[in-house]
Amino acid sequence: MMRIIEKVTEMQKLMDSLKCRGKTIGLVPTMGALHEGHLYLVKYAVRESEVVVVSIFVNPLQFGQDEDYKKYPRTLNNDSSLCEKEKVDVLFCPSVQELYPVKPLTYIDMMGLTDKLCGKSRAGHFRGVCTVVGKLFNIIKPHNAYFGQKDYQQFIVIKQMVDDLNFNVKLKMCPIVREKDGLALSSRNRYLSPAERKQALCLKEALDKAKYLIRNRKEKKASNVINEMKKVIERQPFSRIDYIEVCDSETLEKITLIKGKALVALAVFIGKTRLIDNDVIS
């Protein structure tokens, strides 16, 4: 039977007692609205960790003022049955009041990594992410934590935080899960109208173009790759590019000349919906 826990202190007690019984604890932190991408993380966690915790919390701190915090999909009942089916042990779903009983003053933030890529257009986003993930790590103290490659920058940022602040947790990155036609799974895909849904394919098409250029055509100039990707995106009337970048896959610094491994990442508005995707190409 899956336990559903809403209280921080109850969670802390349970986790401490499980750890002392020698159980390996795996955490899959999510904002709910679970899809196959999340479930891939859960399956991975279930294979590796003896006790699997899924947290569901739509974290207000990581949304900008004009972003979709209010309309972000909340589907707790459905999420809960999906988790139960996957043999999750504990579903941790605190209220906003429970995680932020008073207006928080403290934050965890980072120099360098957080002002690139998504950080540029989403000021304060990674500060919110680091802060809430730090809180979850303190509450759950997992041995392992699982994140998806779709939020590639998020993974790099959290890895840096874990190393810098001595959180005793191993991070695992799981590959991007896609619809059959290639669209990366995202809770935000449900915002798309049928017409937008079709145009949203351009992100993956642009990444495929980049891969073709880098691998098959031996293109070395990042600017050429980016220009070709732009053309693919701009063919779609509802699209608006937020960024397309080729960067170092660890430091996230922009690359001008591609040699070895490169992260190709992009964020594109399709209508009002901001989608992201990426590929590490070598």
50 three-class SS: coil
Active-site hit among 35, 38, 125, 143: 38
Q: Is 88 in the site for its own copies (CB under 8 A)?
A: no
Identify the residue among 135, 204, 209, 274 touching its own copies (CB under 8 A): 135
264, HSE (Cβ side, Cα atoms, 13 Å): 31
Phi, psi at residue 90, to the nearest 5°? -135, 130
Q: Is 125 a catalytic residue?
A: no
261 three-class SS: coil
Identify the residue among 56, 161, 184, 266 touching its own copies (CB under 8 A): 161
> CA-based angle 61:139:143, to the nearest 5?
110
Instruction: Provide the pairing of β-strand 144-148 with 273-281.
Output: unpaired
Q: Name the segment binding its own copies (CB under 8 A); options: 23-31, 67-75, 96-104, 203-211.
A: 96-104
* Number of other residues whose CB lies within 10 A of the CB of residue 217: 11
Q: Is 51 in the site for its own copies (CB under 8 A)?
A: no
User: For residues 65 and 77, which CB has a smaller minimum distance to its own copies in the complex?
Assistant: 65
* Number of other residues whose CB lies within 10 A of the CB of residue 168: 9
Residue 219 beta carbon to its own copies: minimum distance, rounded to whole angstroms: 31
Using CB under 8 A as the binding criterion, the count of chain residues that bind its own copies stands at 32
Q: Is 24 in the site for its own copies (CB under 8 A)?
A: no
Closest residue by Cα to residue 115 from 210, 271, 245: 245
Closest residue by Cα to residue 178 from 35, 77, 76: 35
Q: Is 138 in the site for its own copies (CB under 8 A)?
A: yes
Identify the residue among 110, 225, 244, 263 touching its own copies (CB under 8 A): 110
Q: Name the segment binding its own copies (CB under 8 A); options: 38-46, 147-155, 157-165, 199-207.
A: 157-165
158 three-class SS: helix
* Number of other residues whose CB lies within 10 A of the CB of residue 243: 15
Identify the residue among 164, 181, 248, 250 touching its own copies (CB under 8 A): 164
Identify the residue among 2, 19, 50, 212 touching its own copies (CB under 8 A): 19
User: For residues 92 and 191, which CB has a smaller minimum distance to its own copies in the complex?
Assistant: 92
Residue 92 beta carbon to its own copies: minimum distance, rounded to whole angstroms: 12
Q: Is 57 in the site for its own copies (CB under 8 A)?
A: no
User: For residues 223 and 251, which CB has a smaller minimum distance to its own copies in the complex?
Assistant: 251
Residues linked to residue 239 through DSSP beta bridges, in sequence order: 270
Instruction: Provide the pairing of β-strand 144-148 with 25-30.
Output: parallel
Closest residue by Cα to residue 26 from 174, 153, 172: 172
| Contact assessment for residue 28 and residue 52, using Cβ atoms and an 8 Å cutoff | yes
Q: Is 29 in the site for its own copies (CB under 8 A)?
A: no
| Contact assessment for residue 202 and residue 244, using Cβ atoms and an 8 Å cutoff | no
Identify the residue among 77, 97, 105, 259 touching its own copies (CB under 8 A): 105
Q: Is 139 in the site for its own copies (CB under 8 A)?
A: yes
Catalytic sites, residue numbers: 38
Interface residue list for its own copies (CB under 8 A): 8, 12, 16, 19-20, 99, 102, 104-113, 130-131, 134-135, 138-139, 141, 160-161, 163-168
